[in-house]
Amino acid sequence: MRLLIADDHDLLRDALRSHFEREAPGTFVQGVGTVSEALKVLDDGQPFDILLLDLRMPGMNGLNGLVRLRERYPSLKIALMSGEAKNEDIRLAMAHGAVGFLPKTLPGTVLLQAVQRMAAGETFMPDNLPESAMATDGNALNSTFTRREREVLDFLLKGQSNKEIARALDLEEVTVKLHIRGLCRKLGAKNRTQAAMRAVELGLAR
């Protein structure tokens, strides 16, 4: 696993690097202190499985830093970290494509497991987080979908299989699966069925 940590606290970055590399041999961790530095590392072409992004750090300006990173690297998995965060911050972060939220108070073992799960394509929210933090505004969420994701979602809501969607959109079936994975991440769903149900709940059917 290749992990990029963007946090302006040197001690925290060093502690996380030591823990991850010790507990998960073969893990590569690189740390930066600002959003601009994160963009520079990514612009250099280095591949990463996931980026841990501090919610309160230079260049974030609310969630603008997350938006900039998502726009330039839409396929990169990004998880927010913070010592404290309002439910609204978390809702908006998930709506803008974050794959999870990590309180800095999480035990190291739980943190590592969460990062590994998110790198593998899952979303993560701590168990003690109020359920309302996962709620989001349908219009805001819809604006984060790519054109293809929106098209795939429309067919998904009609009960079409991956093979049927691929045929209708002239895509490879594996490509459809990738788009569904992206939809699941943004909708906070574990599978295509949950994604469809969540979309209906949010009023995204059309």
User: pLDDT digits over 66-89, tens only?
Assistant: 989 988 998 999 999 987 767 777
Do the beta carbons of residue 82 and residue 53 sit within 8 Å? no
User: pTM for this one?
Assistant: 0.64
Fold agreement between 2-130 and 138-201 = no
Name every residue whose Cβ is closer than 8 Å to that of residue 183 and which is 6 or more positions away in sequence. 145, 149, 152, 153, 156, 189, 195, 199
pLDDT in tens, 150-196: 999 999 888 899 999 999 999 999 999 999 988 887 877 778 888 88
What fold is seen in the domain 138-201?
A: Arc Repressor Mutant, subunit A (1.10.10)
d(CA 38, CA 32): 6
Q: Which residues of 142-179 are buried (b: 16+ CB within 10 A; e: fewer)?
A: bebbeeebebbbbbbbeebebeebbeebebeeeebbbb
Indicate the CATH number for domain 2-130.
3.40.50.2300
User: Where do the structural domains in the chain lie, given as residue ranges?
Assistant: 2-130, 138-201
Q: Quick one: 1 exposed, middle or buried, by C-beta within 10 A (0-12, 13-18, 19+)?
A: middle
Residues belonging to the chain: 206
pLDDT in tens, 100-147: 888 887 888 888 999 998 998 888 877 655 444 444 556 667 777 888
